[in-house]
Amino acid sequence: MTDSGGLFRMVSEEEKWQIGESYDCTFIALIHKVENPQGLVDFRPILLIGCLYKVLAKVLANRLRKVIGSVIYESWSAFVKGRQILVD
């Protein structure tokens, strides 16, 4: 298993900057399921995650996808795009 510095360099670069607390917050909106809600069971919670947090998660996932093939053994096939756990 070789890394060639890709994954570890990426992680160490990401540790250099921090996300403010306000970007990590999630708002909960209660949407009613029935016409006249009487209790909590009559509501459906919807989580509203901040846009910047979603963008950052997507950027990090895309960067990790570039090097994950060289970091993960070929026999470890679960959760790697293009590999199937049933084919070994």
Tens of pLDDT along the chain (88 residues) come to 455 555 555 555 555 556 666 666 778 888 999 999 998 899 999 887 777 777 888 888 888 888 877 777 777 766 677 766 675 5
Q: What is the DSSP string of 42-59?
A: GEEEEEEE-HHHHHHHHH
Q: In DSSP terms, which residues pair with 30 in a beta bridge?
A: 45
Q: Which two tokens stand for residue 53?
A: 């947090």
pTM for this predicted structure: 0.42
Distance between CA 67 and CA 8 in Å, rounded? 10
Domain ranges of the chain: 6-71
Which one-letter amino acid corresponds to residue 21? E
